[in-house]
Amino acid sequence: MSEFELIREYFFWQDIPGSVQVGVGDDGAVLRVPVNRELVVSVDTFNAGVHFPLETPPHAIGYKALAVNLSDLAAMGAEPAWFTLAISMPEADRQWVSCFTRGLRELAQQHGIFLIGGDTTRGPLSVSIQVMGWVEPGQALLRSGARHGDLICVSGTLGDAAAGLAIVQQRLQLSGGAAEHCVQRLNCPSPRLQLGASLRGRASACMDISDGLLADLGHILKASGVGAYLRHGALPLSPALQQLELAQRLDFALRGGDDYELLFTLPTDCLREVMESADNLGIRVTVIGVIDANQPGLSLDYTFHDERSGYEHFSQ
């Protein structure tokens, strides 16, 4: 199968939205950003064996590569619009590409984001996706706005994906249903786009949790120039995680990556309306701590026995 056949068959999507003047097929895409909107752009690369285990099914690779990027748009409070896909693969295996595209497309259709171009090359399996979306001017949710007294909140539950990875790597065993839940959360995270949109004008700071709660909260604290108190007893844990011993479940929930839940800070008077919006979306939101501008860094009422805080690519 030639590169061009591959592109035509799998990456040239027909249902072209009105915002795309020129999509796949020319040297570049030509796009219409609505008037009075700011463009939000983010890119993430997914390398086999680094960002996902080699045995990950192709459907999950397609789904997750887009999900983690959509999660960045969610964290900015942006509406998804378009994405590009740069893919490198060892061979043009029709079955593999077909499953990969199914996963990709399933999620793309769910969130109304459209593939407008990319690059296809031969090499070790790697997938780079760049997403584009928009927000009203000045409305993007940043990491830098957390203020003294703001409540620290997270969506969903924490640590499931880290437990899922441990299960896939045969470092952990859980009973059937619980194991399946965790592996599903690892392979098919849910980007919280509607929740992110509902936080515009309400949350003082927001980001998505990709490297673990402690590491990622550290980014908000640094960008905002504040400290925080965190209560380990308040962390939202799934029934699957609750089966584990305290030290292990806290390790997954606080330092495990790949959750793609939203972490945000809220002035106390916004809590009620945010909880109501989240309820209507069927998403759990939990208050796990509070911002304190008078003390630097993060105070957690739990001590780990080692120093590690989260996943960093060049430090291990």
**By the rule CB under 6 A, 11 interacts with ligand ADP:** yes
52 binds, among ligand ADP, Mg ion, none (CB under 5 to 8 A by kind): none
27 part of the interface to ligand ADP, by CB under 6 A? yes
**Is 119 labelled as part of a ligand binding site?**
yes
Interaction of residue 25 with ligand ADP, rule CB under 6 A: yes
DSSP, collapsed to helix, strand or coil, labels residue 55 as coil
Q: What CA–CA distance (Å, rounded) separates 307 from 190?
A: 30
Q: Is 72 annotated as a binding residue?
A: yes
Query: Is residue 279 close enough to count as binding Mg ion by CB under 5 A?
Result: no
Phi, psi of 42 (to 5 degrees): -150, 145
Q: At residue 257, what is the residue type?
A: G
SS3 category, 310: coil
311 is in an annotated binding site: yes
Does 3 contact Mg ion by CB under 5 A? no
Smallest separation (angstroms) from ligand ADP to the CB of 29: 7
Binding range to ligand ADP, per CB under 6 A, among 59-67, 116-124, 231-239, 299-307: 116-124
Q: Using CB under 6 A, pick the residue from 85, 193, 263, 300 that binds ligand ADP.
A: 85
Contact string 117-136 vs Mg ion (x = CB under 5 A): --x-----------------
First-residue to last-residue Cα distance in the chain: 39
Q: Which does 131 bind (CB under 5 to 8 A by kind): ligand ADP, Mg ion, none?
A: none
**Is 27 annotated as belonging to a binding site?**
yes
CA distance linking residue 274 with residue 82, whole number of Å: 28
* Measured distance CA(208)–CA(96) in Å, rounded: 29
Q: Would you say 228 and 217 are in contact if contact means Cβ atoms under 8 Å apart? A: yes
Cβ(113)–Cβ(13) under 8 Å?
Answer: no
Residue 120 near ligand ADP by CB under 6 A = yes
Residue 115, contacted partner among Mg ion, ligand ADP, none, CB below 5-8 A by kind: ligand ADP
Smaller CB separation from Mg ion, 4 or 314: 4
Q: How far is the CB of 96 from Mg ion (least distance, A)?
A: 20
Q: Which residue has the tokens 């796990």?
A: 288
Decide: is 266 part of the binding site for ligand ADP (CB under 6 A): no
Strand pairing report for 151-155 and 285-292: antiparallel
* CA–CA gap between residue 208 and residue 259 (Å, rounded): 8
Q: Has 238 been labeled as part of a binding site?
A: no
- How many residues bind ligand ADP (CB under 6 A)? The answer is 13
Are 148 and 289 spatial neighbours (Cβ–Cβ below 8 Å)?
no
Look at residue 254 and give the partner it binds from Mg ion, ligand ADP, none, a contact being a CB closer than 5 to 8 Å depending on partner kind.
none
H, E, C per residue of 178-235: HHHHHHHHHHCCCCCHHHHHHCCCCCCEEEECCCCHHHHHHHHHHHHCCEEEECHHHC
Beta carbon nearer to ligand ADP, 47 or 169: 47
Residue 245 binding: pick among Mg ion, ligand ADP, none (C-beta 5-8 Å cut-off by kind): none
Amino acid at 79: E
**Contacts of 97 by beta carbon, 8 Å cutoff, 6+ apart:** 6, 10, 58, 89
Indicate the residue among 98 and 120 with the shorter CB distance to ligand ADP: 120
| Residues in touch with ligand ADP (CB under 6 A) | 7, 11, 24-27, 85, 87, 115, 117-120
Binding residues for Mg(2+): 27, 42, 44, 72, 119, 208, 211
| Residues in touch with Mg ion (CB under 5 A) | 119
Binding residues for ATP: 118-119, 143, 210
